[in-house]
Every structure is written in C-alpha cells, then in structure tokens.
C-alpha cells in the first residue's frame, strides 16, 4: 500500500507542499522583481515627457525622470541633480523651443529611443555658405534611456553634416 508520504512529487504531502510553496514563491518574486511597469516599456514615457516640456510644465516633467538622472540639451552641456529641475522650470520662458516640436520617436534598442530634428538655435549654423538663411540647418539627435524608475539619461548631439552633393539634394 502506497501512502501520500511515499510519493515524492505529491503536492499535497508534507514535503511536497513546502516544495510547491517555495517554487511558487520563487516564481512570484522573480516575475515581479524583474518585470517593469507597462508604461515604462514603450516610448509613451518619452512622448509624455516631451509634451509636458512643450506645455511649460517643467516640474511635472522633472517627476518623470529617475532619481539621479542626467540630461543634455541642444543649448549645450549636461545637467545633473538640481540643475535639471531648474532647467526644466526655466524652459517655459525660452523663446526658441523648436527642439521640442513633435517629431517621430524611434526605438533603437530595448528601453532606448531617439528622435532626430533640424533646429535653428539662432546662432547662424547654416554651414560654410557665408549667407544667413542659405544652407542646411544642422541635424540634432536626442537619445532617451528609460528604465523602470523613469528616464535615466537624455543626450543631445549635433550630427555631422552630409557635405556631399547628393546629400544637399536630399538623397
């Protein structure tokens, strides 16, 4: 006669219940510890961050950043800590905010997004043509690194110009 104690894989036995409980607890902790909230898995966080900046709500945009986040901007430099908060609050008073215009956001890698745009900082960056307004505005690229706590890092870089004749005509 076989009792429930003799069957090693019976989940209703004394040891099997403990084993099953530990197995389920391990699965539960693993699943919820490494999973990210749904709103941080896609580019909605970046779009919301940019829309808040466009509307001049820098305090709310600052809350979307992860603790200790760093942020670069087309005006130059990297901002850290309290400087990020001050920059986002002051951004509502900027006159040239063309870098916040809606452009497409593309996914580069897992939780990494970029947006490219042309923007005039008002510093006559039209190239080596020598005439104001004649030439091509520089291409800028912002990269957003997002994790489960928010936006961790924002970089802003001016891209090299395509100086070929084909590049001039858009090919």
- Please write the tens of the pLDDT for every residue from 43-88: 889 999 999 999 999 999 999 999 999 999 887 789 998 999 999 9
**What pLDDT shows up at residue 171?**
66
Distance CA(118)–CA(40), nearest Å, equals 27
Exposure letters 48-64 (e unless 16+ CB within 10 A, then b):
ebbebbeeebbeebbeb
Chain-centroid distance of CA 48 in Å reads 10
**What pLDDT shows up at residue 102?**
85
Per-residue pLDDT band for 149 (boundaries 50, 70, 90) equals confident
Mean pLDDT for the chain overall: 76
Per-residue pLDDT band for 38 (boundaries 50, 70, 90) equals very low
The CATH classification number of 38-168 equals: 3.10.450.50
What residue spans of 55-113 are helical by DSSP H?
Answer: 58-63, 82-90
Q: What number is the average pLDDT over the span 115-126?
A: 74
By DSSP bridging, strand 150-158 and strand 65-72 are parallel
Residues of the chain with CATH 3.10.450.50: 38-168
**Residue 142 predicted with pLDDT over 80:** yes
Q: What are phi and psi of 54, to 5 degrees?
A: -60, -40
**What pLDDT shows up at residue 40?**
45
């Amino acid at each position: 006669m076989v009792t429930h104690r003799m069957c090693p894989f019976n989940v209703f036995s004394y040891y099997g219940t403990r084993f099953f409980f530990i197995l389920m607890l391990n699965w539960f902790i693993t699943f919820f510890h490494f999973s990210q909230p749904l709103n941080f898995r896609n580019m909605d966080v970046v779009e919301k961050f940019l829309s808040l900046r466009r509307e001049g709500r820098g305090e709310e945009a600052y809350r979307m950043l992860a603790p200790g986040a760093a942020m670069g901007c087309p005006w130059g430099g990297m901002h850290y800590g309290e400087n990020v908060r001050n920059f986002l609050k002051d951004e509502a008073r900027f006159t040239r905010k063309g870098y916040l215009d809606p452009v497409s956001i593309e996914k580069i890698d897992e939780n990494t997004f970029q947006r490219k745009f042309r923007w005039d900082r008002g510093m006559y960056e039209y190239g080596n043509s020598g005439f104001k307004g004649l030439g091509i505005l520089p291409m800028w690229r912002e990269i957003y690194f997002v994790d489960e706590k928010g936006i961790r890092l924002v970089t802003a870089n001016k891209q090299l110009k395509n100086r070929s004749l084909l590049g001039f005509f858009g090919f």
